[in-house]
Structure 1
């Protein structure tokens, strides 16, 4: 069920109440675009290493009610607070450190890539929690890209829109993320995850074991903020590993190109931290491929083991987990009917993703509500999410 705050007619009226220009326009001139968040089933910190990932777009999303204008200016108001951000398309200026940067950065990246974009007035509403590791920033970028390009923007290939969003995040906002989040938000497939090759951007849908098994997100209540985290350091550490390995094998351009044998052969060429990071990425790429095979075979026991290995690797080798995320995984895996659990997203706080048998979701919720506050002092939020289609325009209630 869609959050009432995201109802298209409500958003149109809210924009008309906040913006004088929109107030004078007929409601039919105000269009609504949506872009979902995502969970990553497996394949963490592999995307900026040209590797494999398996995300799913989820039914928590950002919506923009948009009135196109002839002005070379973008004005966006937050539905919840009325706070407004704006910029001129011909003088976007540097990042300000606020949420409007994700809109401005997308506009900058689109123009730099040669796309014609338009000004607009908009209101932004979301049921996608910020800082939960569910890619609210990528969803805002993908919604903004369509709003800036106009109704024909859906014809721009998903990969191109994802690359634009990644450039906005890397070069304008300053987070050296990969392309997974934007691609999942733009190109999600209902009832499926997608296996994405982050080098070629080739992808294929991966059927999920629905409806018997559900995707359940547990938000730790510990907010994640990438700019303030060690996320960018991890990229540098991976680059150190690549540089060391390339001394022996110059064909290596990214950790995607490294297997266990080559990594072992170059162990003494790199520092200990770089080796740990590379060890995670090489094994994680293999886990993504193995998870696809296990899902196709209906081998959920193996999926559970792969999720567990991924979480341990992220905790011990990549060092991006947290006591809160570890507690959520421990609690979840103690509940009968929880098939798999691991942190999802970059880590440093945020959420876990759990594959749970439909009739055991209540048991998981009860266990988390009973045990998690005592272990962490925090309250977790538990959400049963659907895998949905990627970003698009809403017309007559249909995306």
Structure 2
């Protein structure tokens, strides 16, 4: 049994006695390319990672009692009437609220949560939690949703209950990925394309040590700026714009709005090109697109920070031409993702450990990943 599995079962027994009737895991994700495109109806290409959230549930009567083992905190509420209280509790309550609105009679009982995804690092701990809670409750009452519908329910919990106007990328990545594959997501049609990772390629995730939060307004502000640009262009979303349209309308936009739109328009193109490159095993082209994406996130979208810029720069130098690195996630810190040949891992790791320190002066956390499977029950 994995460490997280032991921790979950031990924590459940200590909090509630006995064992959960069902355990579900939901992975975090790292986005290879396609940042802030999801809520613009565009394209993104994440992989699921080995870091995950596990939820154990035992249905019963009365309130829903919850223990978050990583925080040493608890919650208890009426599943027929979840109310906002803030913090991690709202992610659980928001999922219950959405299930209730979908006509699911959510039972009371006991629910324990354990995770291996560091919070605020850009690897979608919140989406993983939402998907795991939704899946375990549905399984426990004999109901099911397909992976995309499950993800959309989890997304609504975060948008409507928690208050982060997120797109659907993170939840879809957690719910619908396939072992060994990246996932190209059309965030408008919800069409999914599984893309096999080249056999000799690996993903390195390095934590910058700059922890960011999304409910502080910056994420929602970027979304509003994109919506303003789409309005000026006269399109439903920036998915419908191209670079020629954007340049023609430049005189009607302030520089900030123009730059935000340019990132999204060019990032959509890069993501589609990257899917073709990855499918062909062309890490040279894929790496060039990742580097371009990082520059665009900083120059046009204003979401990189000096620490992630420095980290991406030294990783790109160490990776060489066969691959690339970029800031991943919502921005303003978090992780940098690198794609490289397996034979470059040691050199890149050494370069990071020798040359980079977090804001607190510590060596960064480095993880090596290959694409994991999406959410599901744990045997």
TM-score (norm: length of structure 1): 0.90
Identify the residue that residue 215 of structure 2 maps to in structure 1. Answer: 227
Residues 158-173 of structure 1 mapped to structure 2, 5 A cutoff: 158-173=147-162
Given candidates 308, 311, 318, the residue that maps to 2:291 is 308
Distance (whole Å) between structure 2 residues aligned to residue 222 and residue 164 of structure 1: 30
Deviation per residue, 1:320-371 (Å, 9 max, x gap): 0011111110110111456210011111110011012212212212111111
> SS state of the match for residue 284, structure 1?
helix
Match of 1:228, SS state, is coil
SS at match of 1:186: helix
1:366 aligns to 2:350 (yes or no): yes
CA distance in 2, matches of 1:82, 1:376: 25
CA distance in 2, matches of 1:13, 1:44: 38
Tell me the SS of whatever aligns to 1:227. Answer: coil
How many Å separate the matches in 2 of 1:239 and 1:81?
Answer: 36
- SS of residue matched to 2:368: strand
Unaligned runs of 5+ in 2: none
Distance 1:377 1:195, change over 3 A: same
Contact 2:57–2:137 under 8 Å retained in 1: no
In the alignment, which of 226, 229, 244 is matched to residue 238 of structure 1? 226
**2:309 corresponding residue in structure 1:** 326
**Cα distance, 1:79 vs. partner?**
2.4
* d(CA) in 1 for partners of 2:310, 2:2: 29
Change (3 A) 1:159 1:329: same
Contact map agreement 2:138 2:144 (CA 8 A) in 1: no
1:180 aligns with 2:179: no
Q: In structure 2, how many angstroms separate the alpha carbons of the residues matched to 1:154 and 1:213?
A: 38
Distance 2:109 2:214 in 1: 29
Q: Whole-Å Cα distance in 1 between the matches of residues 15 and 358 of structure 2?
A: 43
The answer to whether the 8 Å contact 1:62/1:125 transfers is yes
Post-superposition shift, 1:154? 7.2
Q: CA deviation at 1:229?
A: 4.8
Gaps of 5+ in 1: 247-251
Q: CA deviation at 1:114?
A: 2.6
Residue in 2 that maps onto 1:193? 182
Residues 56 and 388, structure 1, Cα contact 8 Å, conserved in 2: yes
Verify the 8 A CA contact 2:23 2:55 in the aligned structure 1: yes
Which range moves more in the overlay, 253-262 or 338-347? Answer: 338-347
- Equivalent position to 1:113, from 97, 102, 107: 102
Corresponding residue pairs, total: 378
> Is the alpha carbon distance of 1:315 and 1:108 closer, same or farther for their aligned partners in structure 2, counting shifts above 3 Å?
same
| Matched-pair contact (CA < 8 Å) for 1:128–1:134 | yes
Aligned mates of 1:34, 1:154 — CA distance in 2: 17
SS in 2 for 1:235: helix
Find the aligned partners of 2:279 and 2:256 in 1 and give their Cα distance: 35
3-state SS, counterpart of residue 165 of structure 2:
coil
Q: Does 1:214 align with 2:202?
A: yes
Match of 2:24, SS state, is strand
Alignment of 1:38-187 (within 5 A): 38-71=29-62, 73-94=63-84, 96-151=85-140, 155-187=144-176
User: What is the alpha-carbon distance in structure 1 between the residues aligned to residue 60 and residue 74 of structure 2?
Assistant: 17
Any idea what SS the aligned residue of 2:132 has? helix
- Following superposition, the deviation at residue 375 of structure 1 comes to 8.5
Corresponding position of 1:249: none
| TM-score, L = length of structure 2 | 0.95
Per-residue deviation, residues 163-211 of structure 1 (Å, max 9, x unmatched):
111111111111111000000001111111110010111111011112x
Alpha-carbon spacing, 1:122–1:374, altered in 2? closer, same or farther (3 Å): closer
For the aligned residue pairs, the C-alpha RMSD in angstroms reads 1.8
Q: 1:88-119 deviations in whole A, cap 9, x for unaligned?
A: 1122112x221111110111122123333222
Alpha-carbon contact 1:151-1:393 (below 8 Å) kept: no
Deviation per CA, 1:18-47: give whole Å up to 9, x if none: 12xxx2x5x4x5211101000001000000
Cα distance in 1, alignment partners of residues 359 and 71 from structure 2: 34
Runs of at least 4 residues off by over 2 Å: 10-14, 78-82, 113-120, 150-155, 374-379
CA contact (8 A) 2:307 2:358 kept: no
1:288-336 Cα offsets, whole Å, 9 max, x none, are 1100111122221111110011000001000000111111101101114
- 8 Å contact from structure 1 (residues 77, 122) kept in 2: yes
Instruction: Confirm or deny that 1:349 pairs with 2:353.
Output: no
The residue that corresponds to 1:340 in the other structure is: 324
